[in-house]
Amino acid sequence: MHVMATPLDFLRRAEVIHADRTAVIDGDRRFSYAEFADRCRRAGGLLEAHGVRPGDRVATLSRNTVMMLEAHYAVPGLGAVLVPINHRLTPGEIGQIVSHAGAGLVLFDDDFADVVKQIGVPGISQSDYERALPTAASAMRAVADEHDLLSINYTSGTTGLPKGVMYEHRGAYFQALAMVAHSRLTVGSRFLWTLPMFHCNGWTYPWAVTAAGGTHVCLDVVDPQRIWQLIGEVGVSHLNAAPTVLITLVGHESARPVDSVEPLRVATGGAPPSPTLLAQLADLNIDVTHLYGLTETYGPAAVCDWHPEWSALPVAEQARLKARQGNANILGGQVRVLGPDGSDVPADGSTVGEVCLRGNNVMRGYFRDPEATSQAIRDGWFHSGDLGVMHPDGYLELKDRSKDVIISGGENIASIEVEQALAAHPAVREAAVVAMAHEHWGEVPAAFVVAQTGVPVDESTLRDFVRGRIAGFKVPKRFVFVDELPKTATGKIQKFVLRSQV
Amino acid sequence: MHVMATPLDFLRRAEVIHADRTAVIDGDRRFSYAEFADRCRRAGGLLEAHGVRPGDRVATLSRNTVMMLEAHYAVPGLGAVLVPINHRLTPGEIGQIVSHAGAGLVLFDDDFADVVKQIGVPGISQSDYERALPTAASAMRAVADEHDLLSINYTSGTTGLPKGVMYEHRGAYFQALAMVAHSRLTVGSRFLWTLPMFHCNGWTYPWAVTAAGGTHVCLDVVDPQRIWQLIGEVGVSHLNAAPTVLITLVGHESARPVDSVEPLRVATGGAPPSPTLLAQLADLNIDVTHLYGLTETYGPAAVCDWHPEWSALPVAEQARLKARQGNANILGGQVRVLGPDGSDVPADGSTVGEVCLRGNNVMRGYFRDPEATSQAIRDGWFHSGDLGVMHPDGYLELKDRSKDVIISGGENIASIEVEQALAAHPAVREAAVVAMAHEHWGEVPAAFVVAQTGVPVDESTLRDFVRGRIAGFKVPKRFVFVDELPKTATGKIQKFVLRSQV
């Protein structure tokens, strides 16, 4: 029997079978699945009353709140399209996205009222939303086609205009099921919203957690003290975060081993977790899965599937294995590393090529940008622009985003390799390596280092340390010690900021 | 991006990311995923050399062997259709199925050679298959359409001709992902093949275990001693079986608590597990999930999602909750209980109606039987013929297969209710209740009881025991003590045999 594949069905199921269980914890408020589903339908009614019709785009400018979660059901429940916007962007950037998406309405947190006014688009503030919900009519319709547009996620490109990545109901449904399987989400799960929902629709977890009948634990600010508090009080079982967030977490004074039979399951991406970090996490009863993906792939299209036997290896070896991005997730899509001639590079762990992906969790294309779409998706493969190698055991390892490669004397240096070498030093908390112009070599690596609190370290120590680990031409020619690295809202290091400093 | 949804992709992924891990253990033989995938392709080549073309039906008459597993990839890998036949049927019945399916070739275990000869269809014996495989060419093609026919599963109806239930690639793909999630299959899982693969394609586990990168542990005969041996030696983490098989298992002299951190996960269906059985299983570190489905729904379409809090309740209360069939599995399909007027019965836990289902895991229809198909699937709903009630918390509880209802003095008696009352007595190992003709009441219940070994029990004790638990008119009017109940190959009690005895 053909029934449309849509993540909205997860909510209907949860409302039937888990009506009384807690769907959402948002501060002091708790909503059962019966209440949450009712609120989602009323949110649909509210949007409809504001003129939203099938195909319309509805933007959000919101933190990880219950309203933001509900938007993931209410907007597509009208056949409309969700446009979640990174609220840390400038009003100018936000205005560009709203305009490009043609969004006629924006749901926003109260403190963004000025921004919304500035860009001149009608909106509903969170206070108004909450006030209107109890008396709003209910509206949620069956999905007409599983290939209907569900969401447009604008990529926070570091240069140029952001591109609007189009997600369909079918792709989000598939990806959410994959996330349930890999994260082992289940009825008792309590998922903490450290990952912003505006980022790739929170890797489809707004639907995945509901599919499993778990509880969404909202979080408006990524504050380590608050996170540790929630882990203890609410019994958080799952969270997703970039390694930089995890570093802050393990280094915080409130850090205590998680008191539960099953470990706290964390999925991470964006950068590989260092050996030091992995050891610290293990001591805290936190289990990490390394994932890889892009906005264009509904978030994690690849997963570093962990072989149980690996857990018996020395921690440095475990870190080496876990630093890899693995291969296609359980959906059975495909991940390949292609050379310049378009054929697979040898799976030798050293030949670098471009990471290309294929599967139901690859975007439909870029909204209103057929040119960029046909550049990105060629011959049925999405070309990520990321560089990587394929190991003999079928595990991908990213070497760098193309633009982060340092070309020194004609040789490519993967900044990630230099960063990993630095991160292996116990005094290094975090490191970022970028290209610095050089008269003779064209470019050379420059390192920005955040030292562990209270651990003295200097340039010559680090230089000697990495010299034994990587080739001489890859050793940074300059070291800058900083208190913090500049990061995007999702925890990615903003290398363009660093590049401008050297 | 639209990519065809097919369970064959799970094998391709496993071959890439888990090439060296053990895919299959079959007796003394072990095959890695690289070897298993290679064998599946060669099996495809072998079948092609025997003339199999897209759309052709290929039957199997095989136990749970590596050949049977491979057939689940090799046959659909040619675009052909798998027809797994229950090898316990009579040659006449097998011939009927082969003929109705139009199967031109049968893969069979050597000891079924006479049956195959008798029905006069060309075949490949397991020995020939193993001999030919190493030199066979490779053949496995991309799936043309996710709605293509994958398998035809003939239902072992107790009366009339068996019907051929049509499975598609898409439905099997979805259902396999659901089974991964509910069984919590993962890379380290070792799944023991106690459930026959010829039954609903083994509830799609031939694909689900591969999707997770787990290990298939083949089992040719359901022998409790052998099962306990494998649990100990191989480290079985999962198995699926009817309660009757579990009863044999817990009662066996080799029974020992499973020595692992996570419990042995068992999925069961066909009949609800009794309180006694659940307590025994818990003592053995075995966790049971109760599922419900039919051949028409790719196996388990419903699952009794367990609320973690329920584990703190008294065991009798847990059994009462676990005896229920739950609601639609994680795919988000729908399960309803409909009254004679076609509307939902009240969710009061007592009003009986027909269980109807909808979702991507409902069959396409019956092969070459449009009449039966349009009777079964009406207005987009599959009418199961099973009777049940809906509890206020959204959990379905089966009351009886329609034909198993006993109509006594105009009142319906659900035989399952009487059986549960009997099973609560510690001396009762298993019980089956059927209708017995009666001059005055039309029908009355008759009970067939298997007593626990060495525990004396008599008719009057049991009669008094159930009288306090169920209404007087439901108390069996006749008790027959037997050593064993007649069962189908999948462990279902053959009530028609019992009915013929009273």
What percentage of chain B carries pLDDT values higher than 90? Answer: 77
Q: Give the closest residue to A300 by CA, choosing from A370, A210, A396, A235.
A: A396
pLDDT of the residue at B499: 86
pLDDT of the residue at A414: 76
The answer to whether residue B157 scores a pLDDT higher than 60 is no
Distance CA B156, CA B158 (A): 6
In a domain? residue B205:
no
Distance CA B486, CA B496 (A): 9
Task: Give B158's pLDDT tier (boundaries 50, 70, 90).
Answer: very low
Quick count: other Cβ atoms within 10 Å of Cβ B352? 18
Task: Give B490's pLDDT tier (boundaries 50, 70, 90).
Answer: low
**For the ranges A172-176, A448-452, B109-113, B199-203, which has the lowest average pLDDT?**
A448-452
Contacts of B393 in chain A (CB under 8 A): 19-20
Contacts of A394 in chain B (CB under 8 A): 16-19
* Facing A358 at nearest CB: one of B3, B308, B362: B3
In a domain? residue B62:
no
Would the CB atoms of B213 and A305 count as touching at under 8 Å? Answer: yes
pLDDT of the residue at B88: 84
Task: Give the residue from chain B lying closest to A22, CA to CA.
Answer: B307
In a domain? residue B119:
no
- Give phi and psi for B446, each to the nearest 5: -125, 140
DSSP 3-state of B328: strand
Contacts of B381 in chain A (CB under 8 A): none
**For the ranges B218-227, B283-292, B410-419, which has the lowest average pLDDT?**
B410-419
Q: What is the DSSP letter of A366?
A: B
Where is the domain boundary, A169, A188, A203? Answer: A169
Q: Give chain B's mean pLDDT.
A: 93
pLDDT of the residue at B52: 98
Would the CB atoms of A363 and B187 count as touching at under 8 Å? Answer: no
Per the CB < 8 A criterion, the answer to whether B209 and B185 are in contact is yes
Would the CB atoms of B394 and A332 count as touching at under 8 Å? Answer: no
Interface test with A, best of B4, B9, B16, B395 (most A CBs within 10 A): B16
Q: Which domain holds residue A451?
A: 406-502
pLDDT of the residue at A158: 43
In a domain? residue B491:
yes
Going from the C-alpha of B179 to that of each of A180, B210, B299, the distances in angstroms are 12, 11, 10
Any A CB within 8 A of B171 CB: yes
> Which H or E run includes B106?
strand B103-108
Check residues A437 and B321 and name the one with the higher pLDDT.
B321
User: Please, what sign has the CA dihedral across residues A88, A92, A93, A96?
Assistant: positive
Distance CA B36, CA B19 (A): 9
In a domain? residue B463:
yes
Task: Give the residue from chain A lying closest to B330, CA to CA.
Answer: A211
In chain A, how many domains are there? 2
Interface test with A, best of B4, B17, B169 (most A CBs within 10 A): B17
pLDDT of the residue at B495: 84
Interface of A with B in 200-229 (CB under 8 A): 211-213
Task: Give the residue from chain B lying closest to A209, CA to CA.
Answer: B330
Any A CB within 8 A of B452 CB: no
And the tokens for A475?
A: 């050793």
Token pair 């659909």 is found at B76
pLDDT of the residue at B407: 76
Each residue's pLDDT tens digit, A287-344: 999 999 999 999 999 999 999 999 999 988 999 999 999 999 999 999 999 998 899 9
Work out the minimum CA distance from A9 to partner chain B, whole angstroms: 5
Work out the minimum CA distance from B499 to partner chain A, whole angstroms: 35
pLDDT of the residue at A169: 98
* Facing B181 at nearest CB: one of A177, A332, A360: A177
Each residue's pLDDT tens digit, A202-252: 999 999 999 999 999 999 999 999 999 999 999 999 999 988 899 999 999
Task: Give the residue from chain A lying closest to B170, CA to CA.
Answer: A2
Contacts of B185 in chain A (CB under 8 A): 181
Would the CB atoms of B9 and A332 count as touching at under 8 Å? Answer: yes
Task: Give the residue from chain A lying closest to B296, CA to CA.
Answer: A1
Would the CB atoms of B2 and A147 count as touching at under 8 Å? Answer: yes
Would the CB atoms of B358 and A19 count as touching at under 8 Å? Answer: no
Any A CB within 8 A of B238 CB: no
CB pairs under 8 A between A and B: 135
Task: Give A88's pLDDT tier (boundaries 50, 70, 90).
Answer: confident
Distance CA A364, CA A367 (A): 9
And the tokens for B87?
A: 């090898």
pLDDT of the residue at A493: 81
Contacts of B171 in chain A (CB under 8 A): 1
Per the CB < 8 A criterion, the answer to whether A404 and A386 are in contact is no
* Facing A211 at nearest CB: one of B13, B330, B334: B330
Mean pLDDT of B91-106: 95
ipTM: 0.87
Q: DSSP string spanning B447-467?
A: EEEEEPTT----HHHHHHHHH
pLDDT of the residue at B404: 72
End-to-end CA distance of chain A: 61
Work out the minimum CA distance from B213 to partner chain A, whole angstroms: 9
Per the CB < 8 A criterion, the answer to whether B267 and B291 are in contact is yes
Token pair 């036997």 is found at A309
In a domain? residue A362:
no
Mean pLDDT of A259-270: 93
Per the CB < 8 A criterion, the answer to whether B457 and B451 are in contact is yes
Amino acid at B250: V
* Facing B360 at nearest CB: one of A1, A147, A212: A1
Any B CB within 8 A of A307 CB: yes
Where is the domain boundary, A140, A169, A198? Answer: A169
* Strand order, beta sheet including B81-84: B123-125, B103-108, B57-61, B81-84, B149-154, B164-168
Distance CA A83, CA B156 (A): 51
Task: CATH number of the domain at B424, please.
Answer: 3.30.300.30
Token pair 């205005």 is found at A95
Would the CB atoms of B331 and A20 count as touching at under 8 Å? Answer: no
User: Which is it for strands A299-303 and A286-294: parallel, antiparallel or unpaired?
Assistant: antiparallel
pLDDT of the residue at A156: 59
* Facing B20 at nearest CB: one of A147, A187, A393: A393
And the tokens for A491?
A: 């925890």
Check residues B298 and B385 and name the one with the higher pLDDT.
B298
The answer to whether residue A159 scores a pLDDT higher than 80 is no
The crossing angle, in degrees rounded to 10, of helices A224-234 and A243-250 is 80
**For the ranges A324-338, A431-445, A484-498, B80-94, which has the lowest average pLDDT?**
A484-498
Summary count for chain A: helices (H), strands (E): 17, 25
Where is the domain boundary, A128, A143, A169? Answer: A169
Distance CA A232, CA A213 (A): 21
Would the CB atoms of B186 and A184 count as touching at under 8 Å? Answer: yes
In a domain? residue B359:
no
Interface of A with B in 377-416 (CB under 8 A): 377, 380, 382, 393-395
Distance CA B444, CA A416 (A): 77
Beta strands in A44-187 (DSSP E): 57-61, 81-84, 103-108, 123-125, 149-154, 164-168
pLDDT of the residue at A232: 95
Contacts of A377 in chain B (CB under 8 A): 1
The answer to whether residue A108 scores a pLDDT higher than 90 is yes
Going from the C-alpha of B271 to that of each of B290, B301, B325, B489, B491, the distances in angstroms are 9, 15, 9, 15, 10
Distance CA B481, CA B477 (A): 13
In a domain? residue A198:
no
Distance CA A359, CA A253 (A): 43
Each residue's pLDDT tens digit, A2-52: 999 999 999 999 999 999 999 999 999 999 999 999 999 999 999 999 999
Considering A267-271, A274-278, A472-476, B76-80, the range whose residues carry the highest mean pLDDT is B76-80
Any A CB within 8 A of B231 CB: no
Per the CB < 8 A criterion, the answer to whether B62 and B124 are in contact is no
Would the CB atoms of B1 and A306 count as touching at under 8 Å? Answer: no
Contacts of A174 in chain B (CB under 8 A): 5
Would the CB atoms of B3 and A327 count as touching at under 8 Å? Answer: no
Per the CB < 8 A criterion, the answer to whether A166 and A365 are in contact is yes
Task: Give A439's pLDDT tier (boundaries 50, 70, 90).
Answer: confident
User: Which is it for strands A57-61 and A81-84: parallel, antiparallel or unpaired?
Assistant: parallel
pLDDT of the residue at A402: 61
**For the ranges A88-102, A122-136, A393-407, which has the lowest average pLDDT?**
A393-407
